[in-house]
Structure 1
Amino acid sequence: MKKNSNYLKSPDLFPITHGKRNISPFGFAVIWVGMAIVLAAFAIGGGGIINLPLGMVILATIIGSVAIGIFMVVIGDIGVEHGLSFPVYMRAPFGTIGTHIPSVVRAVTASCWFGINTYFGSAAINGILNLLFGWDNWFVCFLLFAAAQLINTSLGIKSIERFADLAAPIIIIISCWMYVTLSGNAADQGKDIWNWVESPVTGLSAFTAFMVVVMANMGFWATLAADMPSLSRFFKAPKNERNWFKRNKTQLIGSLVVMPIFNTFMVTIGAVSYIAVSNADPVFALQEAASGFILGILLLMIVLAQWSTNTSANVVPAATIFSNVGGPKIPFWVGVVVAGIIGTLAQPWSLFDVLNSALLIIGGILSSVVGILFADYYLLRKRRVNVHELYETSGQYRYLNGFNMAGMIAWIIGGIIANLLPAYSSIVGFVVGAVLYYVLAKFWWFKKYSQAEIEDPSDDKYLGITVGRDWTISTEEKVIVTSASETVNEHL
C-alpha cells in the first residue's frame, strides 16, 4: 500500500462558501479608495500633461480606467461564481503544475510592489516621527511598517476591510486638500491648469500621446485584473441569481465606478503637481509649501494610502499564490511572510528605478494571462468549471505531466508581442493571449485532453452560486485499487 499526499488541497485555497463572503459593495468601494492612491498614478498624470492639456489627460485616464475595470469585473466573476482564487483557477488553462510559473511571476511582482510602497510609506513615517520627536531612522520605520501591514493581512480579509473603512475618509479629505493647494500654487504663478501644456503636440502625435496615457492606466492595473478572483471570492453575492450584472454588483460598483473616479483624481493631482513645480510627486510639491502640522497630515495620508494599497492589491494576491505553490504545508499567513521577505530583499530603497522598469515589463507579460483566462472561462468553458478536479493531482487538469501547453505557448507569445508594442501592451497582450489560447486549446489541446464541462456543459453539474451551490472539497482519503496486490491512497 502506497500513500500519496495531495499537495493541491490546501485548506486556505478551498472555494469560499456563500456564508463566508462578507465584503459588501460599500466595503469594496472603500478598499478601492485606498488602492487607487499610488505614486504611479501621479506619475501618469505628470507624464501626460507634458504633451496634452489636462482635459485630455483626464479623458484618457477615464477611458483606460473603465477599460481595465471591465477586465477586472469579467475575470473577477471566477471568484464570485465559484469562490476560487486566481492560482487555483489557473490550473485549468495552465495545468496543476504549469499554474505555478505565471502565478509566481505575478506573486514576485506583487511582493516587489509591496516593498516599493512600504519604502515610501516608511519614509513618510520617518518624516512624521522627525517632526514630532526628532527621530530619523527610515530603515527601522520600514521594518515596523512592513510588519504592521503583514500582520493586518494575516488577520484576514475582514481586517483589511475594517482598515480601509478607517483610511478611506482621511485619504479623500487630504486628496481634495492636495488638489486645491496645488491648483492655488499654479494659479499664483499665472498658470491656468486647464490650458497649460509644456510641449503641445497635434495630429498623430497627439493621438499617440493620448493612447500612451490610456495604456499606462491599463498597464498599471493589468496584474490586478488577472488575479482579481483572489479578492472577488470574498464578495457578497446572491444565490440562484441568473443575472450576471446583479450577481456582480459588488464588483461593478467598485471597479467600474469607484476605481475610475479615484484613479482619475489621483492622475489629475499628479498632472497639477507637475504644472505647479515640474514634479509629478505631490509630496515633493507640498513639502515646498507645507510644514509642521500640515506636512505631518500629508505624510499620514501617504502612510495610509500605501498600507491600503499593499494589503489588498499586493500582499493578498502574493500570499495566495505562495500558499498554492507550497500546498497544505504553507498556510496563507506563511505566504504573507514570504511576500514580505521578498519585498524586503528586493531592496526598493536602492533599486527603485530598476525595479519600476522591470515591473512594468512584467505587467506587459502578465496582460496576456488576462486574455487567456477570459478565453478559457467564457469562450471555452462558458463559465462552467469542474471544480473538484482542480484539486486532484491526477484529474482532468493534469494534462501533460501537469502542463497545459496551449496556455504556456499563448502566454509566452502574448507576453513577448505585448512588450514589442509597449504603447499598446495591455490590449495587445490580452488579444494575442486570448486568440492564441482559444485556437490552440479548442482545436489541439482539448482534442487530446477531454474537458468534462465542455463535453457536457451542464448548469447543475458545473455552475456555482448561479445555481445556489457552495463548492466543498473533501479532505478524506479514498482508496483506489490499481491491481490485485497494490492500492493507492489519495486525498480527495
Structure 2
Amino acid sequence: MTDTDAGTGTRGTTTAVPLPEGYSPRLYNEDLAPATERKWGAFSIFNVWTSDVHSLFGYFLAASLFLVAGNTFKFLIGIGVGSLIIYWLMTLIGNAGVKTGVPYPVLARASFGTFGANVPALVRAVVATFWYGAQTSAAAGAIVAFLIRYDGPKNLHETTTLLDHTGLEVICYLFVWAAQLLIISKGMETVRRFQDFAGPAVWLMMLILAVGLSVKAGTLSFSVDMPAADLAALAKTATGLDVTPGSFAAIAAIAATWVTYFAALFLNFGDFARFTPDEKTLRKGNVWGLPVNLILFSLVAALTTASASKVYGEVILEPAAISAKFDSAFLVLLAALTFAVATLGINVVANFVSPAFDFANVAPKHITFRRGGLIAAVIALLLYPLHPWDNAPSFVNAIGSTMGPIFGVLVVDYYLLRKARLNIPALYKEDGEFRFQGGWNIRAFVAAGIGAVFSSILPVYGPEAYGATLGPYSWFIGVAVAGVIYFAVSGAKSPLAGKPTN
C-alpha cells in the first residue's frame, strides 16, 4: 500500500496523481481531494457514534452526570435535550461534508482563507492528540486492571517505575498505541470495517456489565443511596459542576456539558460524512447513532453505576474499576479487551482521522493522511510521561472555549453567507476566491478571537445562569459571539451566495 491510498483505502495507484489544472501543490493532495467513492452507509455512520461514545471517558462522563441529575428521570431529560442538540448540529455540519465532499481543514479554507485554515485545523489537531493519549492510557489501564490479578504482572506493576508510570503501565500503553497504528495505517476503509465491529462489541459488553451487576444487586436500581450533601460533593469532584443535584441548573448543565463533550467532532464530522452517498443516509445513521444511541447508552451507564454502588458499597465511576472486581477472571479479561477495543474505536474516529487530515493540510505535498496520523501518534507518545489528561473532566469545558468560536465562524460562513453553495475548485487554488488577505481571512480570525475571549472570561467572571456559573456554557458562548461578529463584519451576503456548488 502506498501513501496515496491511505486516505480512503480505495485508491490503489502506485504512481503519483497529477494535480488538476490550476490546483496548488501547497493546497492539494489525493487525501484532501473531494471524496469520489462513497461507501459509508447508515450503519457505518451509526458506528461512528458507537465508537465515539462507547469509551471509558464517555462512560465516566455519563456516570458522573447521573450523579449531578439526582435521579434517573431528570438525568434522561438533561441527556435527551443534549442529545437532540448534538444530532441537529452534527447533521448540520455533516450535510456540508456530504455536499462538498471535502474534509474539515479544506472546508475551513472558505471562511479562514486558503492558508489561514491551518490555524483552526491545528487547534483541532492539538485537541485530538490530547485525547488520543488520554484514551490510549485509559485502554492500557483496563488491561493493567486484568493483569494485576496474577503475581508476575502484579510484581512488575508494584516494583518498577518508568517515565512516571509503572513498568506494566508502560508496556500496556505501548501495546495499545502500536495496535492503533496497525489499524489506521490501512486507511479509511479499514477504519470503517473496524468501527463496524467495535461499536456493537462494546454495546454487548456494557449490557453484560449492567445485567450482571443488577442480578448481583438483586434488583434493577437507578438510584445511588447517599446523603444529599455527599452526593453533591462527589458530583462536583467528578464533573467540576457546582450545582445542586436535581435542580433545574443541574439539568441544564448536564445538557450543556453533554453537548460540549462533542465540541471537537462538531468541527470535523464532515471527515466521515463526506463518504456517505446522500443526506438521507447521513440523517438515518445520525438518528440511530445520536439521540437513540446516546440516551440508551447513558441509561445503561446509570444502571451500572447505581447497581455497582449497591453491590460494592461505593460509587465507582470507571467501568474498568468495576469489572476488575469481578470474581471471574474470564469476565475481567472480556471486559478489559472490550474496553480496549472501545478505546481503539474512539481514537480511530475522533482522535486520529482528524489530525491526520489536519496535519496533511499544513503541507499536502509532503504529509499524507497516513503520515499526518503518525505525527499525531508520536506526539501522544511523547506526552505520555507528562500525562496531561489526568484532569480530563475539566478539559471538556476548556476545549469549548476554543472549539466554539471556530464552529460559529464555519457555520455562519457556509450556511448564512454562502447559502450552502461553495466553489470547490477555488479551495485548492492560491489565487482563487478564498485568498482574502494573502491566504488569510482577517475577519474570521477577529471574530473567532473575540469569541474565544468571551467564552473564556464569561464562564469565570460572568453572571450566573439558572442559578449556576456559566462554566458549562463556554462552547455556546463562543459559537454565539464569534458567529454574530463574523456575520456583522462580513456583510449580510457573500459574493458566492447563489452560485452552485461545483
CA distance 1:204–1:306, shift in 2 (3 Å): closer
Paired position in structure 2 for 1:221: 262
Q: Report if the CA contact (8 A) 1:70-1:256 is conserved.
A: no
The C-alpha deviation readout for 1:391-414, integer Å capped at 9, x for no partner, is 011211111122212211221222
Q: Report if the CA contact (8 A) 2:397-2:474 is conserved.
A: no
The C-alpha deviation readout for 1:30-76, integer Å capped at 9, x for no partner, is 33222211233333322441552122112211211221221111011
Name which of 321, 344, 348 aligns with 2:381: 344
Q: Which amino acid aligns with 2:25?
A: N
Gaps of 5+ in 2: 1-21, 157-167, 233-242, 460-470
Q: Report whether the alignment pairs 1:32 with 2:58.
A: no
Once residues 377 and 295 of structure 1 are traced to their aligned partners in structure 2, the CA distance between those partners, rounded to angstroms, is 48
Moved more, 94-103 or 36-45: 36-45
Paired position in structure 2 for 1:90: 108
Q: Which amino acid aligns with 2:247?
A: A
Q: Report whether the alignment pairs 1:14 with 2:33.
A: yes
Return the offset for 1:428. 2.1
Return the offset for 1:356. 5.3
Q: Tell me the secondary structure at the aligned position of residue 450 of structure 2.
A: helix
Q: Report if the CA contact (8 A) 1:121-1:303 is conserved.
A: yes
Paired position in structure 1 for 2:440: 403
Q: Report whether the alignment pairs 1:376 with 2:413.
A: yes
Q: Tell me the secondary structure at the aligned position of residue 327 of structure 1.
A: coil
Paired position in structure 2 for 1:42: 59
The C-alpha deviation readout for 1:248-287, integer Å capped at 9, x for no partner, is 4444443344344335544654565567622211222332
Once residues 349 and 180 of structure 1 are traced to their aligned partners in structure 2, the CA distance between those partners, rounded to angstroms, is 38
Q: Tell me the secondary structure at the aligned position of residue 166 of structure 1.
A: helix
Once residues 319 and 23 of structure 2 are traced to their aligned partners in structure 1, the CA distance between those partners, rounded to angstroms, is 56
Paired position in structure 1 for 2:293: 258
Q: Report if the CA contact (8 A) 1:51-1:199 is conserved.
A: no
Moved more, 382-391 or 365-374: 365-374
Once residues 347 and 181 of structure 2 are traced to their aligned partners in structure 1, the CA distance between those partners, rounded to angstroms, is 9
Paired position in structure 2 for 1:103: 121
CA-based RMSD: 2.9
Moved more, 423-432 or 179-188: 179-188
CA distance 1:4–1:318, shift in 2 (3 Å): closer
Q: Report if the CA contact (8 A) 1:38-1:306 is conserved.
A: yes
Once residues 370 and 61 of structure 1 are traced to their aligned partners in structure 2, the CA distance between those partners, rounded to angstroms, is 22
Q: Report whether the alignment pairs 1:426 with 2:463.
A: no
Q: Report if the CA contact (8 A) 1:24-1:250 is conserved.
A: yes
Q: Which amino acid aligns with 1:25?
A: A
Paired position in structure 1 for 2:11: none
Once residues 484 and 303 of structure 2 are traced to their aligned partners in structure 1, the CA distance between those partners, rounded to angstroms, is 35
Q: Which amino acid aligns with 2:348?
A: T
CA distance 1:187–1:341, shift in 2 (3 Å): same
Paired position in structure 2 for 1:308: 345
Once residues 40 and 98 of structure 1 are traced to their aligned partners in structure 2, the CA distance between those partners, rounded to angstroms, is 32
Return the offset for 1:438. 1.3
Normalised TM-score (structure 1):
0.81
Once residues 47 and 291 of structure 1 are traced to their aligned partners in structure 2, the CA distance between those partners, rounded to angstroms, is 29
Paired position in structure 2 for 1:489: none
Normalised TM-score (structure 2):
0.80
Paired position in structure 2 for 1:486: none
Q: Report whether the alignment pairs 1:463 with 2:501.
A: yes
Q: Which amino acid aligns with 1:212?
A: A
Once residues 431 and 309 of structure 2 are traced to their aligned partners in structure 1, the CA distance between those partners, rounded to angstroms, is 56
Moved more, 178-187 or 143-152: 178-187
Name which of 428, 453, 460 aligns with 2:496: 453
CA distance 1:278–1:53, shift in 2 (3 Å): same
Once residues 141 and 349 of structure 1 are traced to their aligned partners in structure 2, the CA distance between those partners, rounded to angstroms, is 17
Paired position in structure 1 for 2:16: none
Q: Report if the CA contact (8 A) 1:15-1:82 is conserved.
A: yes
Q: Report if the CA contact (8 A) 2:263-2:399 is conserved.
A: no
Q: Report if the CA contact (8 A) 2:24-2:429 is conserved.
A: no
Name which of 418, 424, 436 aligns with 2:485: 436
Q: Report if the CA contact (8 A) 1:364-1:418 is conserved.
A: yes
Paired position in structure 1 for 2:160: none
Q: Report if the CA contact (8 A) 1:87-1:320 is conserved.
A: yes
Q: Report if the CA contact (8 A) 1:51-1:198 is conserved.
A: no
Q: Tell me the secondary structure at the aligned position of residue 387 of structure 2.
A: helix
The C-alpha deviation readout for 1:126-173, integer Å capped at 9, x for no partner, is 444555894452212212211221221221222112112322332122
Q: Tell me the secondary structure at the aligned position of residue 399 of structure 2.
A: helix
Paired position in structure 2 for 1:236: 277
Once residues 382 and 310 of structure 1 are traced to their aligned partners in structure 2, the CA distance between those partners, rounded to angstroms, is 33
Q: Report if the CA contact (8 A) 2:405-2:448 is conserved.
A: yes
CA distance 1:316–1:272, shift in 2 (3 Å): farther
Paired position in structure 2 for 1:125: 143
Moved more, 98-107 or 176-185: 176-185
CA distance 1:376–1:274, shift in 2 (3 Å): farther
Name which of 419, 422, 445 aligns with 1:385: 422
Once residues 195 and 117 of structure 1 are traced to their aligned partners in structure 2, the CA distance between those partners, rounded to angstroms, is 27
Once residues 281 and 180 of structure 2 are traced to their aligned partners in structure 1, the CA distance between those partners, rounded to angstroms, is 33
Return the offset for 1:231. 1.3
Q: Report if the CA contact (8 A) 1:348-1:355 is conserved.
A: no
Q: Report if the CA contact (8 A) 2:98-2:276 is conserved.
A: yes
Q: Report if the CA contact (8 A) 2:224-2:306 is conserved.
A: no
Q: Which amino acid aligns with 1:59?
A: I
Q: Which amino acid aligns with 2:293?
A: V
Q: Tell me the secondary structure at the aligned position of residue 228 of structure 2.
A: coil
Q: Report whether the alignment pairs 1:357 with 2:394.
A: yes
Name which of 198, 202, 211 aligns with 1:171: 202
Q: Report if the CA contact (8 A) 2:80-2:291 is conserved.
A: no
Name which of 249, 271, 277 aligns with 1:208: 249
Once residues 403 and 182 of structure 1 are traced to their aligned partners in structure 2, the CA distance between those partners, rounded to angstroms, is 56
CA distance 1:170–1:395, shift in 2 (3 Å): same
Q: Tell me the secondary structure at the aligned position of residue 328 of structure 1.
A: coil
Q: Tell me the secondary structure at the aligned position of residue 253 of structure 2.
A: helix
Q: Which amino acid aligns with 2:42?
A: P
| Identity score, percent | 27
Q: Report if the CA contact (8 A) 2:79-2:258 is conserved.
A: yes
Moved more, 96-105 or 263-272: 263-272
Once residues 42 and 397 of structure 1 are traced to their aligned partners in structure 2, the CA distance between those partners, rounded to angstroms, is 42
Paired position in structure 2 for 1:328: 365
Name which of 28, 51, 70 aligns with 2:88: 70
Equivalent residue pairs, number:
441
Once residues 10 and 199 of structure 1 are traced to their aligned partners in structure 2, the CA distance between those partners, rounded to angstroms, is 57
Once residues 283 and 76 of structure 2 are traced to their aligned partners in structure 1, the CA distance between those partners, rounded to angstroms, is 27
Moved more, 433-442 or 136-145: 136-145
Q: Report if the CA contact (8 A) 1:226-1:367 is conserved.
A: no
Once residues 183 and 397 of structure 1 are traced to their aligned partners in structure 2, the CA distance between those partners, rounded to angstroms, is 58
CA distance 1:12–1:132, shift in 2 (3 Å): farther
